Amino acid sequence: MTDERPEPTVQDVSDWWATSVSRIEPNRIELRGQPVQDLIGSISFPGIIWLMVRGEIATAGQERLLEAALVASVDHGPHAPSIAVARMAATCGIGLNNAVATGVNLLGDVHGGAGEQCMALLADVRQLHQDGTDLATAAAATVQTWQAQSKYLPGFGHRFHTVDPRRDPLLGQVEHAVTDGVVDGTYLRAAHAIERVLAEGSSRPVPINIDGCTAVVYAELGFPPPLARGLFVLSRSVGILAHAWEETGQGRRNKGPMPPSILPTFHDGS
């Protein structure tokens, strides 16, 4: 049996790759319908992220809030797995781009995914509250449901900080945005309600961490939960790049997780 499908046309190829994200023609580049020459010098990097992902121009308030979250998540020290592995990779002769990619590839469900998970947690509280349950009860019921599945509650508590130093300034930015009418504060109130539930009967508070704070920001700004992880990758890539670049200038080769001074010494027995 012969294949009698019609010959492919230029239109077939064009339709296959059709996209509203960008349009490229000779002497013309458009991003979401905006000529690139009109964007250069007139839009910030957070603004172009919003335009490319959302397909619209952000308001000044939306742009400021997004930028605050991106800045807050840039780095958390060389002990973070994505940073540590990028620094080690940078000493292995694979090039800066591959060192950055190595770090980014470690950002998954456990390291880098808590923001997305926290957005789902906050959405559960919000839904119960919208269905008529008072906020405190909605938060308590949601925490109980989530903790029945796992003792880990994404977005709350921190293994290093009693209070994450990024919490107050970032949530303060959200509060300003609520006052200015940029966002309505629904997810911020849900996060605070969960904090209060976790503090009840506890001698040690379990405050919102950076993942919870950015979850509040991205939820308030209307981003779908999976994009929280993508935005975290964009943010943390800056720290990964900085660490990988610094490491390339330090002259180490095949850097391991421990300094040679504390590694065991092996003798050949002679």
Asked if residue 243 is part of any domain, the answer here is no
Q: What is the mean pLDDT of the chain?
A: 90
pLDDT band at 148 (very low <50, low <70, confident <90, very high): very high
Specify the pLDDT at position 270.
Answer: 45
Residues 54 and 123 in one domain: no
Asked if residue 77 is part of any domain, the answer here is no
Asked if residue 7 is part of any domain, the answer here is no
| Its pTM surpasses 0.85 | yes
Asked if residue 79 is part of any domain, the answer here is no
Cβ neighbours of residue 233 under 8 Å, at least 6 residues apart? 104, 107, 112
Mean of pLDDT values over 10-17: 82
Asked if residue 212 is part of any domain, the answer here is yes
Residues 119 and 53 in one domain: no
Residues 118 and 201 in one domain: yes
Structural domain span for residue 45: 21-58
Kindly tell me if the per-residue pLDDT of 203 is higher than 80. Answer: no
| 104-147 per-position pLDDT tens digit | 999 988 888 889 999 999 999 999 999 999 999 999 999 999 99
Task: Give the sign of the dihedral formed by CA 193, CA 197, CA 199, CA 205.
Answer: negative
Strands 22-25 and 28-31: antiparallel
Task: Give the sign of the dihedral formed by CA 253, CA 232, CA 53, CA 172.
Answer: negative
Cβ neighbours of residue 173 under 8 Å, at least 6 residues apart? 64, 65, 68, 217
Helix (H, G, I), strand (E, B) or coil at 34: strand
Mean of pLDDT values over 195-212: 85
**In the beta sheet, which residues pair with residue 34?**
31
Query: 166, 165, 191: which is closest to 178 by C-alpha?
Result: 191
- The pair of three-digit structure tokens given for residue 224, joined into one six-digit string: 């779908």
Q: Residue 41: in which H helix or E strand, if any? A: none
Query: 130, 153, 125: which is closest to 141 by C-alpha?
Result: 125
Asked if residue 199 is part of any domain, the answer here is yes
Rounded Cα distance between 175 and 38, Å, is 32
Asked if residue 64 is part of any domain, the answer here is no
* Complete DSSP assignment for 140-183: HHHHHHHHHH-S--TTB--SS-SS-TTHHHHHHHHHHHHHTTSS
Residues 121 and 202 in one domain: yes
The residue with greater pLDDT, 18 or 191, is: 191
Specify the pLDDT at position 3.
Answer: 62
Kindly tell me if the per-residue pLDDT of 49 is higher than 80. Answer: yes
pLDDT band at 158 (very low <50, low <70, confident <90, very high): low
Rounded Cα distance between 48 and 213, Å, is 22
Residues 49 and 121 in one domain: no
- Domain tally for the chain? 2
Specify the pLDDT at position 76.
Answer: 85
Asked if residue 124 is part of any domain, the answer here is yes
